[in-house]
Structure 1
Amino acid sequence: MRYIVIGAGAVGGTIGGRLFESGHRVVLVARGEHLEALRRDGLGLTTPDAGLRRLPVPAVGGPQELALGPEDVLLLAVKTQHSAELLAQWAGRPVAGGGTAGERLPLVCAQNGVENERLALRRFRRVYGMCVWLPSTHLEPGQVAASGSPLSGVLHLGRYPAGLDDTAERISADLAGSHFAAPVRADVMGWKYAKLLSNLGNALEAVGGPIEGELRLALLDRLGAEGAAVLAAAGIGYPDEAEQRAERGDRVRLVPMPGTTRGGGSSWQSLARGTGDIEADHLTGEVVLLGRLHGVPTPVNGALQRLANAFAAEGREPGSLPERELAALLEPSALPRALR
């Protein structure tokens, strides 16, 4: 199998780099300065076990630079707001022996949120969901850092909308030999909905800074309560926190690495890099959508969705929302006592 990683940022770069190190054929797909750095210097991958090394992983700017074959696996690792455009670019590309990528090749959605698989299934016949628990950072062109140890991440994998097959098992085996745990699950979307709940703090961290202290923890609790309420109203099941902890165990511990600063999660990193967009519409925004569909109020998720989008559009610094504006997101009765 050859892995074509569409989006070689923090997640895609780590997965692609680890697969390449373990002897698999990998192509990274990137753009702009990141692509230039990958082509010039290779992928700079930093992990606790081996520090920084430069990996000569082939890199391209798009599907027009590749000839696709029947053993290729497309691994989509971009933010959801970029998925539709890229799916359209790749689906119609010819595959050696006949047919197109959309007809013949497996496409794995290694992304947060739950919308990517549905978008992909419009254009690709063979779609796989991947629930990504992989603490990683991409702030500089050509470089990614993954701070998990002894494994880099836990990547639940399964067919979309549900089920298992030999392809999922083969991908899982390759990942398991590349510093990942990769459990194959017929109900992978349940794991992705559970991850969605844990990602609701991304917008809060992006606009308000590290989630610590009474106010931010109170906001995080409200985000989670709204998320759990809409999933219950929609009849969507997911593994509880105890099952998630048991699955991860101590296989991925965060390890500080000299010269590497994690800073924040994926939404924080989008603001720090000044990309001009953010994934809030598909994280907190997913809760807002489900709330509207099922008649459940989601005021805090909605407010943070709007704030995160404004921060991205206006180029504001991550974590710079004043405390009083954060406090205004909660009703007075829900504020920590010291802030009432």
Structure 2
Amino acid sequence: MLVLTTKTHQAEAAVEQWADVPVHDRDGTVLGSAAELLPIFTALNGVASEEIALRYFERVFAVCVWFPTVMTEPGEVIVRTLPPRGIFHVGRYGVSSDPAADTKLVASIGEEWAAAEFQVIRSEDVLRWKYRKLLANVGNVLQALLGDTAGAEDLRRAAEDECREIFASAGIAFAGDEESQAAWGALSIEPVPGEPAQLGSSSWQSLVRGHSTIETSYLNGEIALIARRIGRSAPLNAKLTALARRAAREGLRPGSLGVEDLRAHLGRV
């Protein structure tokens, strides 16, 4: 199996790189390609990577990742949770020709990943969880731009409210607040000795590492895309997406904008 853990905007390049890699048996005989034979698990934020993978791979499994970690230095991953370390909702994307085999595969992964103190939950409708995670991720951009989001709570709520409204208009189902709390509430996030308390989201990490690209186009930008498909608009999330692209393109770091500067850019002074 393959587990895809890039950012969504990097997914297609990774999938294309692996799709035609030959798969060998124990004797070295080529049995076929990775895309033909290996299941791929898309453990990424957003809801676009599954469709990207399905263009190449026969068997795609969507993974909703709830795993608060930070990587700002190569080779160093800061895990901030007590056991369970992370919770993963997993389910087949697309129509399966062998549901029993899929169920068995996900169960076996759950047993193996439990050794690393992860919890795997099989879901018949895993996209409900990925859309719920997408709602949670629309605030990532604020931390990436501001660093310290104190005083920007209303902007986060406004971005989330716009997201909820677009989901409702588009008929998109997602896990509710109580359901999410029941599933994800088992995670206990603790400070890591020797590390600052302000350790940010995946989008924040991209700017800290100085990347010239950022995942926001598949988070806030996804909300804008959904809105445009149904003849609506999501102006706040669209503007936040553009600001994130600019920050990555210009090499800006978290904190490059103050709250009032951001309000001015968003027209919410």
- Per the normalisation by structure 1, the TM-score is 0.73
Contact 1:278 1:309 survives alignment (8 Å): yes
Supply the distance in 2 between the matched residues of 1:272 and 1:330 (Cα, whole angstroms). 23
Counterpart-to-counterpart distance in 2, 1:134 and 1:283:
17
| Structure 2 counterpart of 1:252 | 187
Q: SS of the residue aligned with 1:230?
A: helix
Shift of 1:212: 2.6
Q: CA deviation at 1:96?
A: 1.3
Q: Which amino acid aligns with 1:142?
A: G
- Which residue of structure 2 aligns with residue 64 of structure 1? none
CA contact (8 A) 2:87 2:118 kept: yes
Secondary structure of the residue aligned to 1:183 is: strand
What is the TM-score normalised by the length of structure 2?
Answer: 0.91
Q: Which has the higher contact order (CA 8 A, sep 6+)?
A: 2
Output the CA distance in 2 between the equivalents of 1:113 and 1:211.
22
1:252 Cα deviation from its structure 2 partner:
1.2
Post-superposition offset of 1:329:
5.0
Instruction: State how 1:1-340 maps to structure 2 within 5 Å.
Output: 73-97=1-25, 98-161=31-94, 164-213=102-151, 216-249=152-185, 251-261=186-196, 263-329=199-265
**Displacement, 1:319?**
2.2
> Separation in 1 of the partners of 2:129 and 2:149?
23
Partner AA of 1:156 in structure 2 = H
RMSD across aligned C-alpha pairs, in angstroms? 1.5
Tell me the residue number matched to 2:28. Answer: none
User: Kindly, what percent of the aligned residue pairs are identical?
Assistant: 39
Cα separation, 2, equivalents of 1:171 and 1:329: 46
Amino acid at match of 2:236: V
TM-superposed CA distance for 1:306, in Å, is: 0.4
**Counterpart Cα distance in 2 of 1:193 and 1:106:** 22
SS at match of 1:292: helix
Distance 2:136 2:130 in 1: 10
Output the amino acid matched with 1:212.
A
Structure 2 residue matching 1:260: 3-state secondary structure? coil
Q: Where does the alignment leave 5 or more consecutive residues of structure 2 unmatched?
A: 26-30
Structure 1's unaligned 5+ residue stretches are 1-72, 336-340
How many aligned positions are there?
258
CA-CA distance at 1:330 after TM superposition: 5.3
TM-superposed deviation, 1:176: 2.4
d(CA) in 2 for partners of 1:305 and 1:275?
16
Residues 219 and 330 of structure 1 are in contact (CA less than 8 Å); yes or no, is this contact kept in structure 2? no
